Amino acid sequence: MSKVADTPAVSVIMPVYNTGDMVRTTIESVLAQTFSDFEFIIIDDGSRAETSEIVRSYTDPRIRYCYQENQGMASARNRGIELAQGQYLAFLDHDDIWLPEKLDEQLKIFAAYPETMLVYSQVEFFNDRRSWLQDEPILNGQVFISLLRSCVIHSTSCVMVPRTALFNSALRFHPDSVPCDDYELWLRIALLGAVRCTEKVLVRYRLHDHNISRQHNLMTAKRLHVIRQMFSVVRSSSISGWRKLRLNWEICRTLSWLYRHLAEGAVHSPDAVSYARQALYYGWFNPKSFYVWLKVIGSHFGSSSHE
């Protein structure tokens, strides 16, 4: 499919993989945007022929279809980033739906706050039976520490970033952090500058059996991996010395809190000892870490003594 003649304001990047018919609704939600100056880059990550046929059935000249051998969603998004020509980049998963004013509302935020490095929106979750919102804090400004504790950016589909946020700092999605590669990228961007939220619901996030975000154990392991990575990210940054100390302190606090939570949720599991040890390692300064360690050791010692 042909690409737009002039440089577009926005590049919409959507990886697809064996989507079935649900991708039609997603594509149509992009083409129905009230803001029309965009290119729509669709990266087919090695799908069966059916997906290509569905995408090619749309003749809108703003669509750019690109096929690659299967390499995963992170690689597909990175391919889209390399192809993008827009001043802003908006990401979209093939099973989500944008409301018509999604691009328009986020561009208004960038116009009002030019220093912003990322704009996200509220998300409505839905499945075959119902739809609902999650009560989450709205983050604006320097939000790195808040994002460590809770990633309120619930979907890649609700994010728009300036091209410069990625290209000036060579930031991309890291395949070894999947399925938390987006979370890692948001944290890295949050270190660079301000993050803002539109406060409006602009994305509908579809929940179904194939969502990778529903693989709880993998998500937890990769989230811990991503947060540990932040030590080296902060260390290699140009952030001033005192702020580096503060951020490293917050990374330790967050890791200790997460490991305490895991240990308390699995007190009688063999993994609980490892979790409690990590909670103590990162949170030696917090009495709660000692309490959890003693609780877990007591549980396992008590179990052994009764055998």
pLDDT computed for residue 130 by the predictor: 85
Residue 11 DSSP class: E
Residues 6+ apart with CB under 8 A from 105: 121, 198, 200, 202
pLDDT computed for residue 100 by the predictor: 98
pLDDT computed for residue 305 by the predictor: 44
pLDDT computed for residue 12 by the predictor: 98
pLDDT computed for residue 211 by the predictor: 53
pLDDT computed for residue 2 by the predictor: 37
Calpha distance 206→179 (Å, rounded): 16
Of residues 117, 119, 94, the one with CA closest to residue 44: 94
Calpha distance 211→230 (Å, rounded): 26
Q: Is the dihedral of CA 113, 204, 171, 259 positive or negative?
A: positive
Is the Cβ–Cβ distance between 257 and 148 less than 8 Å?
no
Farthest-apart Cα atoms in the chain, separation:
76
Of residues 21, 196, 173, 40, the one with CA closest to residue 107: 196
The segments of the chain whose pLDDT lies below 50 read: 1-5, 304-307
pLDDT computed for residue 158 by the predictor: 97
